[in-house]
């Protein structure tokens, strides 16, 4: 594994948990020294729950209830243009989120996430090598030889492994060496990141949020659409984001320049600040259309490079690793054929494209706020002031602006409440066995609303069932690196088939029966509402909690159950 960001750290933890011998090398003598990714969505929390670190992250992260109130304003001390109740905190949306997952969203900067993932990976047996740089690799039919440099001594050496994962971020040398095909215009803008400590409680504690967006002269140029103050720790640590022209290069971060920007966005100079870090970064629009070659795989920003809008970066990176690692573990154990690994590319390359497009679209959508004020840019400060004043005027012109502004700000739900983007992936690959039915159409906007289904290729729906009266999520019935088989009353042939197949193939195939008098019961009836199978039907669930195969109806006989489940399992494992 190359890289200890969210992608590499989670892959190391997953593989170590699955019993794979893993070595992670990372360039610097430390983990991330800046907070960067922070929005941690429910799907990622489900992954962390499956590997047993959800609670650790919850303890250290900023909780869900402080993530609401994304605010559009002229400055923290200035005028408010509007707010977006975010990340599912709007009462009108909260139930959607609670129904979709047993997990909360949290705000966890990389400075919190990485030590948890890497520390736990190490405890579970992963070898971590700091100050070690990947230089190049060659691969043959049996393995990969990576050339590494110890950055403390300068000594170069080779490491031989069966597989190599490039989790080396947006400037991935592994992806470059693989010559992976990329699409998209590349660097489309520049942004400055300034991290500072300042007690800004008096401006924000009454409207807790992780993001405050500022309409200020020049704010819409480059960058992420407007000026931003992002909470890192409530309400004392902040990241300021402001655009710069990539062609011209970043400005000098002089003390005066940094202070001036901060004062502009806070809206007063009546506060003290201590700058802890400054860095320019590029707003990218770039994704790989193929994520692997032979024995080498790329995950995370190595293959999808996009702005932080929608908070999808580290989430998608961790989910790439979740998709890949169970497959690698099964191939390394000899229970799956190498062909299973091809499904990683087939399943995750479309996600890479989707999230890069989504994150960039969200920057473009911020332009609606300018349009609502009838502004093409903010260069004319008097005109900006006039338009802001017109918004407060009585009469039809003011009404029109107010209405347009409300709509433009509400439209930002595609950035801050894009629940469907986070949950609605439908995988199509050899690791999914179609059941001949057409994918259920989305009843609501697929970007905004998660729609559970057991259609093969979709994530197993969450429902609260009970075991001896205690609530358990259906997501807790599978995972942990193993397959599971979910059925109900009348599903005994599937349970017997699962037991026989597990013994025959040498894998764990956890049979789970849900119904009155079974090990798990469905007293709320929610599982029956979402499972889309008859009581005697079955779902074969992959270790990453995606449905691999289903039979809506009961098996006609014990033998048919064995044959159908066996065929499906062999197909998924690449033996078909
Ligand atoms: C300001 C900002 C805010 C963001 N907010 C969010 C957010 O809210 N939510 C979200 O999901 N995403 C967000 N992102 C994006 C997120 O930071 C990235 O998507 C995420 O870090 C990608 O993880 P990664 O592991 O793929 O890469 P990285 O975190 O970049 O990690 C790459 C790793 O590879 C190592 N490395 C690189 N080259 C080599 C080499 N040659 N040899 C050895 N090691 C090497 C690096 O040292 C590092 O450890 C944000 C990004 C920025 C800049």
pLDDT tens digits along 290-324: 999 999 999 999 999 999 999 999 999 999 999 99
**38 within ligand 1 shell (Cβ under 6 A):** yes
Confidence of residue 486 (pLDDT cuts 50, 70, 90): very high
Q: Which pLDDT score, from 0 to 100, does residue 68 have? A: 95
Span 313-340, average pLDDT: 97
Task: Quick: pLDDT tens for 387-437.
Answer: 999 999 999 999 999 999 999 999 999 999 999 999 999 999 999 999 999
Count CB-CB contacts under 10 A for residue 146. Answer: 24
CA atoms in the 13 A half-sphere facing the CB of 460: 32
Q: Are 477 and 539 in contact (CB under 8 A)?
A: no
pLDDT band at 536 (very low <50, low <70, confident <90, very high): very high
pLDDT tens-digit map of 90-130: 999 999 999 999 999 999 999 999 999 999 999 999 999 99
Nearest C-alpha to atom 13 of ligand 1 is from which residue?
Answer: 37
Q: Is the CB of 303 under 6 A from ligand 1?
A: no
220 pLDDT higher than 90:
no
Measured from the Cβ of residue 80, the count of other Cβ atoms closer than 10 Å reads 12
pLDDT grade for 237, boundaries at 50, 70 and 90: very high
Q: Does ligand 1 come within 6 angstroms of the Cβ of 313?
A: yes
Cα–Cα distance measured from residue 94 to residue 225, given in angstroms and rounded to the nearest whole number: 27
Q: How confident is the model at residue 576 (pLDDT cuts 50, 70, 90)?
A: confident
2 Cβ inside 6 Å of ligand 1:
yes
Mean pLDDT score, 337-348: 97
Is 530:514 a contact under the CB 8 Å cutoff?
Answer: no
For ligand 1, the distance from its centroid to the CA atom of residue 5, given in whole angstroms, is 5
- pLDDT at residue 221 in the model: 87
pLDDT at residue number 222: 86
Residue closest to 295 by CA, chosen among 348, 345, 335: 345
Confidence of residue 138 (pLDDT cuts 50, 70, 90): very high
% of the chain at pLDDT higher than 90? 96
pLDDT range class, residue 135, cuts 50, 70, 90: very high
Residues 6 or more apart whose CB falls under 8 angstroms from that of 134 comprise 2, 25, 27, 146, 147, 148, 166, 168, 173, 174
Confidence tier at 519 by pLDDT (50, 70, 90): very high
- The DSSP secondary-structure symbol of 381 reads H
Q: What pTM, to 2 d.p., does this model score?
A: 0.97
pLDDT at 391: 96
Q: Are 329 and 19 in contact (CB under 8 A)?
A: yes
**Measured from the CA of 8, which atom of ligand 1 is nearest?**
25
The atom number, within ligand 1, closest to the CA of 193 reads 1
Establish whether residue 134 lines the binding site of ligand 1, counting it when its CB lies within 6 angstroms of any ligand atom.
yes
**What's the mean pLDDT when you consider all of the chain?**
97
Provide the angle, in degrees to the nearest 10, between the axes of the packed helices 381-390 and 396-410.
Answer: 100
The protein residue whose alpha carbon is closest to atom 33 in ligand 1 is 3
């Amino acid at each position: 594994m190359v890289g200890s960001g969210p992608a590499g750290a989670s892959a190391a933890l997953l593989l170590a948990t699955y019993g794979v011998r893993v070595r992670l090398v990372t360039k610097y003598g430390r983990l991330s020294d800046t907070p960067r990714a922070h929005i941690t969505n429910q799907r990622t929390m489900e992954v962390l729950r499956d590997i047993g670190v959800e609670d650790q992250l919850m303890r250290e992260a900023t909780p869900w209830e402080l993530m609401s109130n994304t605010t559009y304003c002229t400055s923290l001390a200035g005028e408010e243009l509007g707010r977006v109740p975010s990340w599912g905190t709007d009462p009108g949306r909260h139930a959607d989120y609670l129904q979709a997952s047993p997990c909360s969203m949290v705000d966890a900067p990389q400075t919190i996430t990485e030590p948890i993932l890497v520390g736990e990976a190490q405890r579970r047996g992963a070898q971590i090598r700091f100050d070690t740089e990947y230089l190049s690799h060659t691969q043959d039919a049996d393995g990969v030889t990576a050339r590494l440099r110890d950055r403390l001594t300068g000594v170069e050496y080779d490491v031989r492994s069966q597989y190599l994962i490039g989790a080396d971020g947006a400037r991935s040398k592994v992806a470059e060496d693989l010559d992976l095909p990329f699409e998209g215009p590349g660097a489309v803008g520049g942004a400055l990141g300034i991290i500072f400590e300042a007690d800004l409680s008096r401006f924000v504690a009454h409207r807790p949020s992780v993001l405050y967006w500022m309409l200020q002269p020049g704010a819409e140029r480059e960058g992420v659409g407007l000026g931003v103050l992002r909470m890192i720790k409530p309400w004392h640590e902040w990241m300021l984001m402001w655009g710069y022209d990539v062609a011209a290069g970043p400005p000098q971060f002089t003390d005066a320049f940094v202070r001036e920007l901060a004062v502009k966005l806070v809206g007063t100079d009546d506060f003290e600040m201590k700058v802890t870090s400054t860095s320019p970064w590029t707003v990218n629009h770039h994704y790989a259309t193929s994520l692997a070659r032979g024995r080498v795989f790329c995950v995370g920003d190595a293959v999808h490079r996009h702005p932080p809008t929608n908070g999808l970066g580290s989430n998608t990176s961790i989910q790439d690793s979740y998709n890949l690692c169970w497959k690698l573990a099964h191939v390394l154990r000899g229970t799956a054929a190498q062909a299973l690994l091809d499904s990683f590319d087939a399943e995750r390359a479309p996600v890479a494209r989707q999230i890069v497009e989504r994150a960039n679209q969200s920057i473009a959508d911020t332009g609606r706020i300018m349009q609502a004020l009838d502004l093409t840019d903010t260069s004319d400060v008097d005109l900006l002031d006039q338009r802001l004043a017109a918004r407060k005027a009585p009469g039809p012109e003011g009404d029109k602006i107010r209405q347009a502004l409300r709509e433009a700000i509400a439209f930002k739900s595609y950035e801050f409440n894009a629940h469907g983007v986070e949950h609605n992936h439908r995988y199509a690959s050899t690791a999914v066995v179609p059941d001949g039915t057409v994918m259920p159409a989305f009843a609501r906007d697929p970007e905004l609303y998660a729609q559970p289904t057991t259609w093969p290729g979709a994530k197993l729906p969450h429902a609260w069932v009970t075991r001896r009266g205690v609530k358990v999520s259906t997501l807790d019935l599978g995972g942990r690196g193993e397959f599971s088989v979910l059925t109900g009353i009348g599903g005994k042939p599937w349970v017997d088939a699962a037991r026989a197949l597990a013994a025959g193939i040498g894998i764990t195939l956890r049979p789970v029966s849900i119904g009155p008098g079974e090990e798990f019961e469905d007293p709320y009836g929610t599982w029956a509402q979402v499972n889309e199978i008859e009581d005697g039907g079955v779902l074969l669930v992959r270790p990453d909690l995606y449905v691999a195969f289903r039979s809506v109806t009961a098996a006609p006989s014990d033998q048919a159950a064995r044959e159908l489940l066996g065929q499906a399992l062999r197909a998924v494992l690449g033996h078909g």
